[in-house]
Amino acid sequence: MSACQPRHGGQTGFVNVLITAGPTREPIDPVRFLTNRSSGKMGYALAHAFIHAGHHVLLVSGPTHLDVPDYVDFIPVTTAAEMNEVVAQHIGRMDIAVFVAAVADYTPVLTEAHKIKKDGERMTLELVKTPDILGSARGAFGFGGTLVGFAAETENLEENARKKLLGKGCDLVIGNDVSSPGHGFDSDHNEVVLVHPGRTESIPSAPKTEIAHDLVDAILKIHRTKESS
């Protein structure tokens, strides 16, 4: 089952979870775009794991080739601006927000109406920053729930993940080294570090579907601790 509007919990212990997943595509012209190698597999696995744990999930996803998990509420988007708009609209009713999507950092200033023809040895493409969706959660969006970010890195994994944790107001940042052979974007496996405000823990290499269940347990533990404090 999928829908364009999220369901809202009324059952004790159920939480509403927003998950972003996949890449974004930033159009250059009608046939070209800027994107990245994100497959969406980790975000979709997390959506399935939260559903399996009995919770309500709104999955906001950029373009992927994956089947939408059963029973999630699903909103497809293409660009970073579209993802930002959907998150801004729905995050206020959520208890947990998990930002897994690999959102493009920059988008072309201008999108050409027609295909750009090959003319000359060089072409300059002017780019502008996209909205900082995770960075807007606490401030512009006023989200007070449990906030989880992902950090896909190729170096200084823990250091960069901790910078994101502190800079974005997250309760947890999950870091993964996408340059590690057999892990990351296109792979069915991953290995991650969980960066908390006062400590770091590791989850060794395993299928993303298995890691997703471990992450759900960790996220729910943080959420319940916050709720009871």
Q: What are phi and psi of 73, to 5 degrees?
A: -90, 130
Q: Is 66 a member of any domain?
A: yes
Instruction: Quickly count: other Cβ atoms within 10 Å of residue 139's Cβ.
Output: 11
Q: Is 11 a member of any domain?
A: no
- Domain with residue 185: its CATH number is 3.40.50.10300
Q: Each residue of 176-195: pLDDT tens digit? A: 988 887 776 778 999 999 99
Q: Is 8 a member of any domain?
A: no
**Beta strands at 106-108 and 96-99: parallel, antiparallel or unpaired:** unpaired
Q: Is 98 a member of any domain?
A: yes
Residues of the chain with pLDDT under 50: 1-12
Give the residue numbers spanning the domain of 135: 16-111+124-228
pLDDT score recorded for residue 10: 39
Q: Is 116 a member of any domain?
A: no
Task: Give the type of residue at 52.
Answer: H
Widest CA span in the chain: 64
Q: Is 169 a member of any domain?
A: yes
Rounded CA separation 193/157 (Å): 8
Q: Is 7 a member of any domain?
A: no
Task: Give the type of residue at 70.
Answer: D
pLDDT score recorded for residue 185: 74
Which position has the token pair 């991650």?
192
pLDDT score recorded for residue 178: 87
pLDDT score recorded for residue 144: 97
Q: What is the set of active-site residues?
A: 36
Cβ–Cβ < 8 Å for 100, 24: no
What radius of gyration do the chain's Cα atoms show?
18
pLDDT score recorded for residue 122: 92
Instruction: Return the percent helix, strand and coil in the chain, to nearest 5.
Output: 30, 30, 45
Q: Where are the alpha helices (DSSP H) in 80-183?
A: 80-90, 133-136, 157-168
Collapsing DSSP to helix, strand or coil, 16 comes out as strand
Q: Is 117 a member of any domain?
A: no
pLDDT score recorded for residue 108: 98
Q: How far is CA 177 from the centre of its chain?
A: 16
Domain count, the chain: 1
Residues 6+ apart with CB under 8 A from 211: 42, 45, 190, 191, 192, 203
